[in-house]
Structure 1
Amino acid sequence: MARLPDPPPPDAEAQAVSDRLLERIREAIREAGGALPFEQFMDRALYEPGLGYYRAGAARFGSGGDFATAPEFTPLFGRTLARQAAEILEHLGGGDVVELGPGSGALAAAALAELEACGRLPRRWRMLEVSAALRQEQQRTLAAQVPHLLDRVEHLEALPEGDTPAVWIANEVLDALPVRRFVRRGDGVRELAVAADGDGALGWREIAADEALTAAVGGIEARLDAPLPEGYVSEVCTRLPAFLRGVAAALPRGVMLWIDYGYPRREYYHPERRGGTLICHYRHRAHDDPFFRPGLQDLSAFVDFTAVADAGLAAGLEPLGYAPQGGFLAGAGLSELAEAQMAGADERRRLETVQAVQRLSHPGDMGERFKVLALGRGYAGPISGFRVVDRRGSL
């Protein structure tokens, strides 16, 4: 992937935010002795209070932002997940839906409308969001699309407590967890860190890997039954086990659906994927320069779903299914919803529906690149999304 050519310039206010964040990052680099581990840079670029990409007030999603997730370009995504959530809640005897990282609120709006139409509204739709700016955006979306259901919605700033069964939905959450970058050298593992040159421009620098990173890469190679090649660059999310432990503790009984772009471990660390999976988005342009306008672009890495399943098991959760998004949505009823939407619709509406289904499910688009992993506790009922395909054996 190439560097970003001729990007549209930000307005003065946005540039000022980026400049302030950049100065804080440079200060952190100086305090770290000249090189800041990439994980810490990514954390600041995304989550620095008031300045990070997800903590400032600018639009992030949809046509006016930097990228569009599945809920933004078609309600069919949220409606299909609603059908799956309803099935699980029925076998749980009722409960809540907890949405982790609710984005613009588009998924919740579409899902609530579908659940109401089916007569299967949950007790509560709980939205876990730490960003005040995003909470406001979500409230605007819900007020515009399902104002009569606002009393069903609860915004949370911390993990929920209590013993209510629940379905958790986490769409494109794991990819935003800060990752550590490394390079395999003949004499061992080196960490990729961020440094500033004499003019203050940011760039890569190799530093010694600590025990935690060395052990993490060693664990990856042990599962692969072979060392990674010389010069191999990739990522590992060492925060994942602690993150899953915290989230799992908030699920007394139910199912979590983790939806993201990623691979099982053997595909993630394939010899041909020697440049890693880090990806940046700015104004709907994907590129590979994480140092471009810090705070104004999204940074993410593909998800190692084997690591997620392992972390879930260690946290007391059971893997209940793993499938590409296309197969999961097919099993959960996407085609039936699309057919009903096209019945009696005009030609333009039918074409939009066909295009939406293709984008969500085609292997060349989101259908294979995105995966769905279900982790559960105390659930023995069906999950129709995995009736078409279940690739747990690949994990």
Structure 2
Amino acid sequence: MVQRRVVTAALAAAVLLVTTGCSSDDGERTDAAGSPSPSSSSTGSSPPDRAADEAPPAKGSVKVVRTVAEDLDSPWGLAPLPEGGLLVSSRDEATISRIDEKSGKRIELGEVPGVAPAGEGGLMGIAVSPEYASDHMIYAYFTSESDNRIVRMLYDPEKPAGEQLGAPDTILRGIPKGTNHNGGRLAFGPDRMLYASTGERYEGPLAQDKDSLGGKILRMTPEGQPAPGNPFDDSVVYSYGHRNVQGLAWDPEQRLWASEFGQNTWDELNHIRPGGNYGWPEVEGEGGEAGYVDPVAVWSTEEASPSGIAIAEGSVWMAGLRGQRLWRVPLDGTETAADPQAFLEGDYGRLRTVVAAGDDKLWLVTSETDGRGSPEEGDDKILELEVT
């Protein structure tokens, strides 16, 4: 059993040394040429003109209430069902399971055909149809032999375990795939449209090419067609210039927020505007350049390498993989964020997905069995957290 070193839960305020490696979408570092550095050298913070005392009154801490499930293999996506129960995808096993959030009992719905796990690819994000009460559809984002794609499947809980998923209906194909940088998050927005995050598979120019589906946030109808009101004619592209987004969530004002992996220096939290250009590969972090949207908060890649995000009690909660911590970013009434705070530093290893579970609770998924962690007994887990 590998012993983890627990880091104290204080937010680092000192300037960190700039690293020279490349952070993949899970935080593993490889040699690569750097991209332009942002003007600010602060880490784990909002833009430098933001005062710390502007943070809104909100619940400011979090504690682990209990372990909901354990011994999961490469869990990635998590989707609560309206009638109760949590759906969880296994990236490497290409299965979707249902977990009773009270007893922890797990039932495998079935394996998703056509998934080709490799590197950071496999079965990733899942989402439940907004019309689930009538259509019982589950949506999934996965890597196939040729591309990344989005499918929907009928879920029939009356069938035997392992046979509860219908044949996948592909609603969108042709998303560029790579060993790394596959994006993968799926979520239905308040507008009942389906949003998906994609990566640029280590080809930065794809992020700036509005004709490519790579390095984007996509918005589509439940059938996979360009959603009404999209910024570009006859296109599912909603925003571009992204390196590798894996977190999507909406606040009570229906603003969309996204977490994004940086390369050499800065990971990001962004407020997403339709048609916005978020800079990659021309800008990493806060560039302050005309034509690009700057992030509202940045972190060093050692502190974050962010995946999923959720919004609860006035804050964005962001799961860190390489950073092995849960970040809280308090939101105010505008389009900016107050200074972030870190929790659970090193306590549970790599953190993949976080989902709101009511007004003051979160579900948190660890990610120690994905090939980059140090699994301990019981990994991986789903934890129930209370925001206090």
Shorter-normalised TM range: under 0.3
Give TM-score scaled by structure 2 length: 0.27
**Between Structure 1 and Structure 2, which shows a larger proportion of strand residues?**
2
**Between Structure 1 and Structure 2, which shows a larger proportion of helix residues?**
1
Give TM-score scaled by structure 1 length: 0.26
Q: Which has the larger radius of gyration?
A: 1
